[in-house]
Structure 1
Amino acid sequence: MKRVVVITGGGTGIGAACAQLLAQEGDRVFIIGRRAEPLKSLAARIGVQALVGDAASSACWQDELLPAILQDTGRIDCLISSAGGMGLGRITDMADADWQRALDSNLKSAFASARACLPSLIQSRGNMVLLASIASLAAGPQACGYITAKHALIGLMRSIARDYGPLGVRANAVCPGWVTTPMADEEMQPLMQAHQLSLEEAYQRVCQDVPLRRPASAEEIARVCRFLASPDASIVTGAVLVADGGSTIVDIPTLAFTSL
């Protein structure tokens, strides 16, 4: 039987790469996103089903998304929560609305998606993968909302793994570092302007102290998600799988000795 996989934030970036990989392997894939154009374009290209909607809205899940999936398939076997973004700025620079958007995009989207899908995941003894970040583990500059929400995402995943493991549901998180996605391309713009760099040079600069000396591709992170969602990871739950080229193992105070 084909697995039924639901992917939020599925129109671009890591979510799109997950959709393409899993569809190629025979899964029945539903991609969810708020922007109709990239979502429907991808769906037509790779042969998956697009559902336009807000993954952070519980009402949207109950009234639109969940009925569309379950009336068609009757089941959900895997949720990949890839929606995210926003939340840049220091705390004193953030308006209440910006803070709320960061929480909605990165945390509430995962919460609402998990809560909506869990009854079906319990029935299928399925699993979920939450796309976190190395910003879930450490703080970069001027990204207060994003960092806070991504830290909380790990707590959400662990709570789900703890509470629903006895019912056969697995929950795990992936923490990428820099990934060459449209969102990251936008984040490179200030660096490119400040130092007169090309996009490729900007990625090289932010990865100059990363042990592998490069960013990940979206496809590489998709393969990590595929593993956690597969029977090969049947004993893995509550795990944080870091896929960052080694970024988080670097001892920052010793960087000055690198060139000796």
Structure 2
Amino acid sequence: MRFTNKTALITGGGTGIGAAVARRIRQEGGNVALVGRRPEPLRSVAEEIGATIVAADAADGAAMKAAVEKVVETHGGLDILIANAGGHGVGPTVSMSDETWDLAVRLNLNTAFVSARESLPHLIKNKGNIVVLASIAGLFAGPDAAGYVTMKHGCIGLAKSLARDYGRKGVRTNTVCPGWVTTAMADEQMEFIVEKYKLNNIEEAYALVTKDVPLGQPATAEDVANAVCFLASGEASMINGAVLTVDGGAGTVDLPTLAFVE
């Protein structure tokens, strides 16, 4: 029961990793507030676990300010921010429109910045913490994904800046960088792999994209939630500014040596 008497706000909390984190925090005694643009998935998770929902765009300063105020009014304070909202920003740079680039900035980087800015006064008061969900795309570059890659690198920089600036005020900030995770968003990408390589199903697609990963499989949303909840808990009281990968060892692979592997 690591989160007894703690309140966590989770952006993008209606699906995937955000929903898995919400379930875990509730199971361990915490209050959970889910923030997202689509009320339907938020409502579904909230009804399942018993959570507060706020339909708001985490990149909108006024909306996020109101969301944080509602959470504090409902639960008496705020202890944890899980900056999970994100996505989009793929395509070749040479053909990427200004609109696609701007959307990548808004959905990935602005959501993390704005939610942190509006939450910080309350986190400072309660000596809380922030966990930013980035990606191994924030450490390496995937193909034709300059928008997503750049913004996830930016998320890591933001988290390090917050760790530096607010650590002395009692607020820890850390980053989790997942690799492939079996979520609905990733399933859509696997459909592309299925079509491209004439595979039978998305399970074969996941096997293909993780064939050079040391553990040889994708993570589940629960795997990532385990890491997030550790960093958000008191067990990580001396961890600040860290970047934790949940990628099955993908980041340890020396790419030029793959030709030696049968």
Normalising by the smaller structure, the TM-score range is: over 0.9
Q: CA deviation at 1:196?
A: 2.1
Match status 1:3 vs 2:6 = yes
Cα RMSD after superposing both structures: 0.8
What is the percent sequence identity of the aligned residues?
52
Q: Distance in 2 between matches of 1:50 and 1:21?
A: 17
TM-score (norm 2): 0.97
Matching of residue 224 in structure 1 with residue 227 in structure 2? yes
Aligned to 1:82: 84
Alpha-carbon distance in 1 for matches of 2:90, 2:176 = 21
Task: Give CA-to-partner distance per residue, 1:36-75, whole Å, 9 cap, x none.
Answer: 111101110111111111001101012x302211111231
Alignment of 1:13-162 (within 5 A): 13-62=16-65, 64-162=66-164
Q: Secondary structure of the equivalent of 2:73?
A: helix
Q: Which residue of 1 aligns with 2:181?
A: 179
TM-score, normalization: structure 1?
0.98
Partner of 2:204: 201
1: distance between equivalents of 2:195 and 2:136? Answer: 25
C-alpha separation in 2, matches of 1:74 and 1:116: 16
Describe the superposition over 1:49-106 as per-residue Cα deviations: whole angstroms up to 9, x where unpaired: 11111001101012x3022111112311000011000001121111111101001111
> In 2, Cα distance between the equivalents of 1:116 and 1:252?
41
Residue aligned with 2:10, SS: strand
Distance 2:207 2:64 in 1: 40
Ranges of 4+ aligned residues in structure 1 off by more than 6 Å? none
How big is the shift at 1:139?
Answer: 0.2
Distance 1:92 1:56 in 2: 26
AA aligned to 1:91 is T
Q: Judge which range, 184-193 or 202-211, deviates more.
A: 184-193
What does the per-residue CA deviation read over 1:103-148, in whole Å, with 9 as the maximum and x for residues that have no partner? 1111000000000000000000000000010000000001110000
Whole-Å separation in 2 of the counterparts to 1:195 and 1:98? 27
User: Counterpart of 1:154 in 2: which secondary structure?
Assistant: helix
Structure 2 alignment gaps of length 5 or more? none
Distance 1:182 1:216 in 2: 13
Q: How many residues align?
A: 258
**One-letter code aligned to 2:42:** L
2:120 & 2:69 partners in 1: Cα distance? 14
Q: Which moves more between the two structures, 102-111 or 190-199?
A: 190-199
